[in-house]
Structure 1
């Protein structure tokens, strides 16, 4: 028997479902559009912004010594920065020495002893060694007249260790947001992600927070399927095998985010051995040349680059300002720039540490320092 009320109820339900679905699709597209808009500035060639007033850097640096201590000398990103700092130091009269180590705290302690014994002026803890880990050594160096500084380590949200003379932070949270927005745009808001981190390194925390908060806002259908946490000293032995296991257990994963790009040397073999190379997108951060080569080869999809040469100039600028009693910049004066298949060749073939970003920073720093 014909039931008018049932038909009306069915019609109302259908109308309601039709109304809800377009709104949901609209919300998803709004998130993708927001993510795309936030990425735009990172696809433009970086510009130089002076981090402070001009000063005579040669007068400040002449005859001084700086010991630069990475969290591990096996990290090619940090090795590249230090090598560029050595070259800049040669021009201004600053001796830059790397404390070679394999990521062991006992080796960091030995580095402090060496710097104190050999009367260095500055110890530069670059990108990874927490001053909390070596607090007695920081105090001993400070008491001996050696200024201990960090670079490329703290997020601006961090409170620096009180014994540090100064610090040059970078926006790790900002980096996380860039990664999240790129993934959102390049998977149509549907990413299934394997995230590779080193949580013992303090900057990892704000970086991952940036990924998670930005995905929550712009990509609610994106999912971090698995987080793989590997200590820095174990990258070479654990990343590849751990990722292979995760990919085999979760075939829906279509994006891998190794948050520091030197991890990629172990990610690419895992993708190759699981048959996922070129199928799974890889998005990462740092701009290390061999990873930019991976982009050109189709093994990595995107890298948030920082010119290692630019980092070297900016680090020496900030540390010499501290050494000479000048105001220290509140951050490392280095912009982020997205490399992908469209512009990775701009970094050179093979890629170089300081290619693809333009040379505005070289002219800018040289004029700032009175070298031109």
Structure 2
């Protein structure tokens, strides 16, 4: 029986008993059923959907240079995407260079100066650097003929900064809903949650909103007991100690949600030191291999994965359409996929960045680009 069929079957069974329950219990059971149904969407191996019409990507990419700037090079998820973009770029004639930094705004400013001085054609702000933070630099780059683009940053509900050449948003609000529904289902509708966030990163806002609105809709007995807000540059120094204090003060917490999975390297030690490792469930987002390994070890419960290679292909596709004056996709067309103990070994042992998602996107993009 497939995992999707199992979810659907369980939802049907739950529906049979609703009429015999009091009104408040009916609401809780109905919410639990909805959460199960909505989770089932993310349990099937993702399929490729073309983000636009076919085009000759080599013609668009010839001689083009792109500086890709993550919010911090210490984030293995972002570094993995950029490494894959470099590999794809080599095949199509696009030079991709990473601006390595430690998450300091002054370093981002230096990156803009470097791109302008060295004649780059594109600055790609990937997942975390708000154009508002570096607006004078975005203006200077634009005036110099450098196209500034964002990827894996805005939620589709956001209005991109007007100076951007284009943007490839990702469904952060959708991610929040998945996390909320997972917590609902895996605590039988009674989750007591510690939420770890970085509110300085704009996508955090729609993601947390997705968690909160979906809990309100589907889990009336769930509660966010504590929110821990830690800046990206301080993850290594503050997450572990903060979470330890929260868990000690609130022993009822049974779910921890670090919204970006690279936070997990500081969450697991906190759970171990408080004696809650394996008892407190942990759900997160990104699909970084070391976190998938944590699932195999029983330290993490669930990770919403995205193929970094797929993200790289989709990002280059969107940016090259911009360079060639073609219509840019409305969002980064990369599907989400739930990894848990039932399927995490498909990601490899140890886990790999791009394993477990299938390979339909590779032939899909290559055909779309006229490479095969």
Normalising by the smaller structure, the TM-score range is over 0.9
* Residues 1-372 of structure 1 mapped to structure 2, 5 A cutoff: 22-372=22-372
- Match of 1:42, SS state, is coil
* CA offsets 1:266-309 (integer angstroms, 9 cap, x no match): 00000001000000000000111110111111000000100000
Deviation at 1:355, TM superposition (A): 0.4
Counterpart-to-counterpart distance in 2, 1:141 and 1:350: 42
Counterpart-to-counterpart distance in 2, 1:69 and 1:367: 28
Counterpart-to-counterpart distance in 1, 2:87 and 2:311: 13
Counterpart-to-counterpart distance in 1, 2:168 and 2:280: 35
Deviation at 1:27, TM superposition (A): 1.8
Q: Highest Rg: 1 or 2?
A: 1
Which sections of structure 2, spanning at least 5 residues, go unmatched?
1-18
More divergent stretch after superposition (19-28 vs 166-175): 19-28
Size of the alignment, in residue pairs?
354
- Match of 2:42, SS state, is helix
More divergent stretch after superposition (124-133 vs 20-29): 20-29
Deviation at 1:22, TM superposition (A): 2.8
Counterpart-to-counterpart distance in 2, 1:27 and 1:123: 49
Q: Residue 7 of structure 1 aligns with which residue?
A: none
Which sections of structure 1, spanning at least 5 residues, go unmatched?
1-18
Aligned CA RMSD, in angstroms, stands at: 1.0
* CA offsets 1:33-81 (integer angstroms, 9 cap, x no match): 0000011110011000000010111111111100000000000000000
- Match of 1:29, SS state, is helix
Counterpart-to-counterpart distance in 1, 2:110 and 2:359: 37
Relative to the length of structure 2, the TM-score reads: 0.94
Counterpart-to-counterpart distance in 2, 1:305 and 1:20: 38
Counterpart-to-counterpart distance in 1, 2:20 and 2:336: 39
Relative to the length of structure 1, the TM-score reads: 0.94
- Match of 2:228, SS state, is strand
Q: Could you say if the C-alpha distance between residues 241 and 328 of structure 1 is closer, same or farther in structure 2, counting changes exceeding 3 Å?
A: same
- Match of 2:269, SS state, is helix
Counterpart-to-counterpart distance in 2, 1:225 and 1:54: 49
Counterpart-to-counterpart distance in 1, 2:115 and 2:275: 48
Counterpart-to-counterpart distance in 2, 1:72 and 1:28: 41
Counterpart-to-counterpart distance in 2, 1:106 and 1:369: 37
